[in-house]
Amino acid sequence: MPPLLTTQFSLEEFVAHMQDLLTSNQPAEFIKFALTGQHQGHQAVIDALQNQIYHLGEDEVVHPYTVTGDYDSVLGVSPNICIYNHSIVVNILPKFQDSLSKDVGITHTVKYRGVDHPVGLHHIPNLPFAKWMVRNELRIFFPRLWVPKQ
């Protein structure tokens, strides 16, 4: 497969493009763009310096806003494994300490004894199943093993 053409985005443009895909009833394209940066044969490239908050080497604030989050990773939840055109490396004996144990701000509805409970992903038993490319991980969650704390 030939390399994709690249399209440069500022962080604001990247988020706006994701919102456009989501609001224009294109959920598959939204998910693909949010997780891979790929859309219509192009690979998104975010220019981290384009919207910098500080001048390089100085403490002077450039933009009058406060940073309240980061975009160093994107998480997706799916009942299906959909990895195309890439080999995966399966963890034959995953380590318990590599399980997701910190809050990532995503909940999943788990049914326990007939009642739906919103549960943080880090509370649902899980294991790192596989990796592909540089920083992509595939985790398997076992929601039926979750029980409320007593």
Interatomic CA distance for residues 132 and 128, integer angstroms: 12
Residues 50 and 65 in one domain: yes
Q: What is the mean pLDDT of residues 113-142?
A: 90
Domain count of the chain? 2
The whole-model pTM stands at 0.53
Which pLDDT does position 87 carry in this prediction?
Answer: 87
Residues 82 and 68 in one domain: no
Interatomic CA distance for residues 143 and 124, integer angstroms: 6
Residues 2 and 60 in one domain: yes
Task: Enter the tokens of residue 144.
Answer: 């039926």
Domain assignment of residue 135, given as a range: 78-150
- Answer whether residue 22 shows pLDDT above 50: yes
Do the beta carbons of residue 127 and residue 140 sit within 8 Å? yes
Band (pLDDT 50/70/90 cuts) for residue 69 is: low
As a whole number of Å, the end-to-end CA separation of the chain is 53
Residues 60 and 84 in one domain: no
Q: CB count, 10 Å around CB of 132?
A: 13
Which pLDDT does position 59 carry in this prediction?
Answer: 59
